[in-house]
Amino acid sequence: MIDKNSVRNQVKESLAQLSKPLYEDYSYKIAGRLFEDEDFQKAKVIGITVSKRPEVDTYQIIRKSWELGKQVAVPKCHPKEKRLSFRIFSEFSQLESVFYGLLEPIEALTTEVTSEQIELLIVPGLAYTVEGYRLGFGGGYYDRYLTNYSGKTLSLAFREQIIPYFPVATHDIPVSKIITANETIKIV
């Protein structure tokens, strides 16, 4: 039986092997593929995390979204309730380092948006199956958020993050597509 934590550790290990040039190259190619995606082009409000290595670099995606006149909402964790809220921000100085070195919006400088307002949610994860199931970092925040989200979803992933199998629970909600440096995997 494959357990989720051993999958997490395995994927983290293979991502740690990515050299800085490869990390930058793949992130750039993934972003370019995202910019050509119809869901991205149509969305006026995008939900996305501020990346932390080894996740695909989202800084360039956030900047490009602003240049295109899109609103960008980033998640704020509420650990007591184990839930996420998303807040619109317009410059990186409106972020602060909170848990585990993650950057989150400063509430006084940003505006909360409802899940209905977010047209495209770029869902982070550590590992994915080609069926669109994702293995997160273990907090369950996105699993809970996705139960009340009805907009478009996609994930950005390095080839090393696409794996054949991991245990999927009945409450797990797959994303609609996964964008890698070489392909867009559309989930039916």
pLDDT in single tens digits along all 188 residues of the chain: 678 888 888 999 999 999 999 999 999 999 999 999 999 999 999 999 999 888 999 999 999 999 999 999 999 999 899 899 999 999 999 999 987 778 999 999 999 999 999 999 999 999 999 999 999 887 889 999 999 999 999 999 999 999 998 888 888 899 999 999 999 999 97
Cβ–Cβ < 8 Å for 179, 157: yes
Neighbours of 71 (CB within 10 A): 19
**CA 90 from centroid of its chain's CA atoms:** 18
pTM (2 decimals)?
Answer: 0.94
Q: 122: closest CA among 147, 161, 151, 155?
A: 155
